[in-house]
Structure 1
Amino acid sequence: MLNFKELEIIPEIRESLEDLGFENPMPVQEQAIPILLNGDKDFIGLAQTGTGKTAAFGIPILQHIDLQSNKTQALVLSPTRELCIQIARDIESFAKHMKGVKVLPVYGGSSIETQIRGLKRGAHVVVATPGRMLDLIRRKQTNFSSVKIAVLDEADEMLNMGFRDELDGILAETPDTKRTWLFSATMPREIKDISSRYMHDPQEITIGTRNTASKNITHMYFVVSNSSRYQILKRIVDYYPGVYGIVFCRTRRSTQEVADNLIQDGYNADALHGDLSQAQRDYVMQKFRRKNLNILVATDVAARGLDVNDLTHVINYELPDEPEIYIHRSGRTGRAMKSGISISLVGPKRRHAISRFEKKAGTRFERGKVPTGNDVCEKQLFDLIDRVEKAEVNEELIEKYLPDIYKKFEGLERDELIKHFVSLEFNRFLNYYKDARDLEIKDSASFSAAKGKAKGRGGSFAPTRKGDARFFINIGKTDKLTVPKLIGILKEVTRNRNIPIGKIDILKNFSFFEVKQEHTDLLLRSFKKAFYKGRKLNVELSKKPGTKPAKKVRTVKVRKS
């Protein structure tokens, strides 16, 4: 294995790396840095999240900068503001001993005027989220004529979030002579499209096996009903003492609800999602990094900037729609040669998707049996005993207290003393689970539930949450519609990236989605006649069979993705 001293890195950057304690490059760095230092090729790096990609492109970027010029020479695009901020900080730390390097993070949720002033003052490296960057381009506040390098970090995630149009608009503003470096955990079709459009004969490296999950991770799924989903989540968390993990939810609302319920039930948990302010998100992430939280309930987008190496568990509150998203999530555990467990709570209707996920991830998923109350109590009890057995005893500190302690316990036999001790520490679990019902769904129940699919527009007409309006749209799985794509359509239609979207059901030929009722008029008012991928869209309020539509059916045009 090489060390950083053997790579052709300038002394100023090497000194910064030594300050940071970097000695040996990680695999993606060892393979990518020599190629990118040469700087004459487009590049694709396929590697999981948390493998050291920022240094892999950040170090070569700094080495290619001409400090005699104050113009922007490198543009890095990342999916979220958290990741944008982290990348900018990392590049600044690599440039600690390079005089005059200016790195500017540009992202939504912060003053655009301040960012415009930063661009006018000059920044050698701009790290940006796609939405804010395109906004600045449309305001004619950017000058990318001197950009030599464009980096797309977490490219698959940016596409999952619906940023294809933004990426096209931004890259069109950069010189044709630039080099494009693309980093991604997976290689879906959209990534290949971008590669063929914006890159010329790119050199590609793959760290690990392409589009597959880490071999250090145990993959499990539990079949659950919607009514028992939260109770089974608690049962699983209780079954794994010392859990330190992330629970992924689909929407901001469900994220907050699950976190609130866990907190109310006495768990050391908190929520991380886009409705929080930047200061709130930073505070929650800091608590989690410091292990002041055991459980973080998060959306995919909000968790992108969180980099933690020793998670024990990743739990999917619902199975995501795409295997690539699952691979991203599960890759947050089992890092740095440690083992991890990835768990998915799967509704009966989605059991068939497991084989597709197994094939894409290149691994087997074990079906878990929901722990019984007795299972949980036994696991917690023996974990307590193990911790007592392995506890370090500081003889010097406790010696002066021992005579009084021995005297206090002199009337208790050994067996009685153990019973008292266990009861004191363990009564909460015993009382809670003594009459706990079996939450395991039997196969017959699973298949029965799976048959209850909605038939036509009348099926599943009622919103799942109070205050929601439920809509029908005439595209579904046969149109290759996914939840991220539908969210992108809705946000483009309303021109509002913050519209609160509730439950989404993607069916074979059509789909349902929910939004808060107060946004119904905005949603329908935004619709105009148009087409999606050559097909006329039909959107209406979902209604009970036999009743008249609550609103006039309208059509909508969205740009092709």
Structure 2
Amino acid sequence: MAKLRTLCYSIIFAPSTKNITILASFASLGVSADLIKALNENHIESPTEIQVKTIPFLNEQDTDFIGLAQTGTGKTAAFGLPLIQKIDGSKPYVQAIVLSPTRELAKQIAKQLFRFTKYYPEKIFTEAICGGDKIDAQIEKLKRPTQIVVATPGRLNDLLDRQAIDLSQVEYVILDEADEMLNMGFKKDIDRILRFAPKERHTWLFSATMPEEIKQLIKQFMKPDAHKVEVDKEQLVNKNIEHFYTLCDNVKEKVPMLLKFLKKQGNQQGIVFCKTRATVRKLAAQLEEKGLLAKPIQGEMFQSERDKVMRMFRSKKTQILVATDVAARGLDIKNLGFVAHYNLPEQIEYYTHRSGRTGRAGRKGLSMCFVVEEELEPMEDIEMELDIVITPVATA
């Protein structure tokens, strides 16, 4: 009976480029010509919806702000461009901090802000402060003029403990991927950082979802009149992503079914998500044994090992990353062809984050689930909660 739920047809998953509707030019949003020159150089030519709704407001207003939008919709430019234009490059102290859930995402944000300011008339210095790097070296870097600090919450607290960073003149605090920071257990770290920052600061919060913990954080640390922008309110998952599942007779059948699916992807790169680090290690080894270019990304790895895997992936020496949710969060990956769910996520919000790794910048994306009979009900909960349809297919 289980197999009757599976439609027996094959699908060629070949994402194609889709043009983004040009909602406005960056100039009309109040972005300076120097910043626009850098944007064009980085092939960012037309603003996304979150950028259109966010940039003019943040340029003109000094208030708290809440931006709700999916992963991959351009949130870094949405807050980064107005932030750069508000920073005073003649003042050598920290004026803004950007909090990020992972080292990878923090470094990605810092790199983007650096690229944005390439032609900017004022010298604005951004420093990435993350766990996994030598803290003494970071302390030395912070002795130089620095206007923006992009940090993971744990490492920023370490620096506060050592009195190695001064937040007393911070005017802007940006919480990026706020829901994920709370999911990763950074609530106490964030609370402490916000208490160190001046009360008259402006707090900008960006998140893909709005769980109860986020609402509590907003109530506790943000002004009641905080301006809120929501992109695709009724579309919790990127509408450019197609969602499918294949039903396996048992857990052991997942590996051969996954192999068939991966072989159909050709040279496209993707991420396979697992629930535990042990499953990540085992599955990556199984895929490698079958001749696939697969590497694990999980929390027990040294940062140098993670960096090596990511260099291999970006140079296309590795095709598939096998990862846990936490390890994959914030990875700077462009043109990802697909994501596969070897295990369904424990939290529905994670399905949003996982799927959001593909289908970026207007391209088509693909999300494939591998489930057994007892996982059908949790999968239906995902469909109902996120208002999506996960279509049954056969990979053979």
TM-score normalised according to structure 2 size: 0.87
Q: Which amino acid is 1:166 matched to?
A: D
CA distance in 2, matches of 1:166, 1:210: 32
Q: Is the 8 A contact 1:150 1:180 kept in 2?
A: yes
Structure 1 partner of 2:230: 206
**Is 2:102 the counterpart of 1:80?**
yes
CA distance in 1, matches of 2:184, 2:198: 26
Q: How does 1:116-515 map to 2 (within 5 A)?
A: 116-200=139-223, 201-209=225-233, 212-224=236-248, 225-369=250-394, 371=395, 375=396
* Unpaired segments ≥5 residues, structure 1: 376-561
The one of 33, 45, 68 aligned to 2:90? 68
CA distance in 1, matches of 2:71, 2:203: 20
Q: CA deviation at 1:292?
A: 3.4
Aligned length, in residue pairs: 371
CA distance in 2, matches of 1:286, 1:46: 31
Q: Is the 8 A contact 1:44 1:183 kept in 2?
A: yes
Structure 2 partner of 1:26: 48
SS in 2 for 1:357: helix
Q: Is the 8 A contact 1:185 1:211 kept in 2?
A: no
Q: Could you list the per-position Cα deviations for residues 395-417 of structure 1 after superposition, in whole angstroms to 9, with x for gaps in the alignment?
A: xxxxxxxxxxxxxxxxxxxxxxx
Q: CA deviation at 1:242?
A: 4.5
Q: Is the 8 A contact 1:50 1:309 kept in 2?
A: no
CA distance in 1, matches of 2:215, 2:161: 27
Q: Could you list the per-position Cα deviations for residues 150-202 of structure 1 after superposition, in whole angstroms to 9, with x for gaps in the alignment?
A: 00111111111111111111111111111111111111111111111111121
RMSD of aligned Cα (Å): 2.0
Q: Is the 8 A contact 1:186 1:210 kept in 2?
A: no
CA distance in 2, matches of 1:47, 1:111: 33
Structure 1 partner of 2:27: 5
Larger radius of gyration: 1
CA distance in 1, matches of 2:144, 2:255: 51
Structure 2 partner of 1:473: none
Q: Could you list the per-position Cα deviations for residues 356-393 of structure 1 after superposition, in whole angstroms to 9, with x for gaps in the alignment?
A: 21112111222334x4xxx3xxxxxxxxxxxxxxxxxx
CA distance in 2, matches of 1:177, 1:210: 34
Q: Which amino acid is 1:149 matched to?
A: Y
**Alpha-carbon distance change, 36 to 139 in structure 1, aligned in 2, over 3 angstroms:** same
Structure 1 stretch 350-359 or stretch 218-227: which is displaced more?
218-227
Q: CA deviation at 1:86?
A: 0.8
Q: Which amino acid is 2:169 matched to?
A: S
CA distance in 2, matches of 1:100, 1:235: 52
Q: Is the 8 A contact 1:108 1:131 kept in 2?
A: yes
TM-score normalised according to structure 1 size: 0.63
Q: Which amino acid is 1:204 matched to?
A: K
Structure 1 stretch 104-113 or stretch 212-221: which is displaced more?
212-221
CA distance in 1, matches of 2:39, 2:328: 26
Q: Which amino acid is 2:232 matched to?
A: G
Q: Which amino acid is 1:324 matched to?
A: E
CA distance in 1, matches of 2:163, 2:280: 37
Structure 1 stretch 113-122 or stretch 87-96: which is displaced more?
113-122
**Alpha-carbon distance change, 215 to 68 in structure 1, aligned in 2, over 3 angstroms:** closer
Structure 2 partner of 1:439: none
Q: Is the 8 A contact 1:13 1:94 kept in 2?
A: yes
Structure 1 partner of 2:5: none
**Alpha-carbon distance change, 91 to 353 in structure 1, aligned in 2, over 3 angstroms:** same
Q: Which amino acid is 2:45 matched to?
A: E
Q: CA deviation at 1:309?
A: 4.2
* Unpaired segments ≥5 residues, structure 2: 1-22
CA distance in 2, matches of 1:245, 1:73: 38
Structure 1 stretch 4-13 or stretch 180-189: which is displaced more?
4-13
* Identity rate, percent: 42
Q: Is the 8 A contact 1:211 1:360 kept in 2?
A: no
Structure 1 stretch 113-122 or stretch 10-19: which is displaced more?
10-19
Structure 1 stretch 139-148 or stretch 303-312: which is displaced more?
303-312
Structure 2 partner of 1:50: 72
Structure 2 partner of 1:537: none
CA distance in 1, matches of 2:210, 2:341: 22
Q: Is the 8 A contact 1:84 1:105 kept in 2?
A: yes
Q: CA deviation at 1:290?
A: 3.9
The one of 53, 58, 77 aligned to 1:36? 58
SS in 2 for 1:28: helix
CA distance in 1, matches of 2:76, 2:316: 24
SS in 2 for 1:45: strand
Q: CA deviation at 1:231?
A: 2.7
CA distance in 1, matches of 2:233, 2:311: 32
**Alpha-carbon distance change, 211 to 133 in structure 1, aligned in 2, over 3 angstroms:** farther
Q: CA deviation at 1:349?
A: 3.2
Q: Which amino acid is 1:212 matched to?
A: L
Q: CA deviation at 1:243?
A: 4.6
Q: CA deviation at 1:136?
A: 1.5
**Alpha-carbon distance change, 318 to 70 in structure 1, aligned in 2, over 3 angstroms:** same
SS in 2 for 1:172: helix
CA distance in 1, matches of 2:263, 2:31: 49
Q: Could you list the per-position Cα deviations for residues 16-35 of structure 1 after superposition, in whole angstroms to 9, with x for gaps in the alignment?
A: 33433332222211211111
